Amino acid sequence: MAWHDGTVTAPLTPPHQPGPHDPWQAPPSGSHLAPSPGAPDDPDTATELRQAAVVAALVAVSGIALGLLWVWLAPRVPLVSDDTAVFLKNSEGEEAIGADGTFVLLAIGFGVLSAALVFWRLRRGGVLVVVGLALGALLASLIAWRVGIWLGPSSDVVGRAREAGQGVTFDAPLELHTVWVAVLAWPFAAMGIHLLLTAAFGPRDVEPDWAYYQGPVQGPLAGPGSGGSPSSPAGGAGPG
């Protein structure tokens, strides 16, 4: 619609307000801007907190298994005593480094396994689930370290030397020389594997339908072939 007095023609709709049939005013019917908040695949915060707590607890408990395997597989450091002191039986041995390496390798393996299981069960879990995985892995490493020391050879070296007697070989206590490197191996491995699995097989966001909508162009944006002219608004008469 337009108004004209015989000399001047002007549209009734102000230029800064779109008309009722402007295709850019709203997306077409049936389109949506975002997924519905109540989708069953998107857990709420309370559900995600419960999932994170369960993940952290289960992963932390699995640290007992790591501690048992460490006691079983870690190489022993042989010691021998005389009347005055306790010495390494083999001063050039690498058993002490081997204990640290065994713990790190086992922790990395447990990190890969725990991350794969969490991703398989809770593929749509959010940030809280990942935080629960990291905290559980850290607690699991600390538990494994303490379990290994508790179940391994006694830390009372002097008492064991007296029990063994002079010149008799006995095992040194099981310990970690690089504690934080070994303890952080499980959390870093779990976070890295979970990130890779999410990037490769995680759910993808679906783009809304209105992003591909191309409506007709009207008004000043019309091209040469649109059938209109900026100087002749639709429905109006030219200058009289």
Could you tell me which of 64, 31, 41, 50 has the C-alpha nearest to residue 210? 31
Angle, alpha carbons 124-54-38 (nearest 5°): 35
pLDDT of residue 162: 80
| In the block, residue with structure tokens 């307000």 | 17
**Count of alpha carbons within 13 Å of 162, Cβ hemisphere only?**
3
Distance, CA of 193 to CA of 53 (rounded, Å): 20
Verdict on whether the full-model pTM lies above 0.85: no
Place of tokens 């070989």: 169
Q: What angle do CA 118, 123, 124 make, to 5 degrees?
A: 125
β partners of residue 87? 80
Over the chain (240 residues), the average pLDDT of each successive run of 10 is 55 55 54 47 80 96 97 90 77 78 97 96 87 97 96 84 79 90 96 93 66 53 48 46
- Predicted local distance difference test score (pLDDT) of residue 63: 97
H-state helical runs in the chain:
45-61, 63-73, 95-121, 127-151, 157-164, 179-183, 185-201
pLDDT score for 36: 45
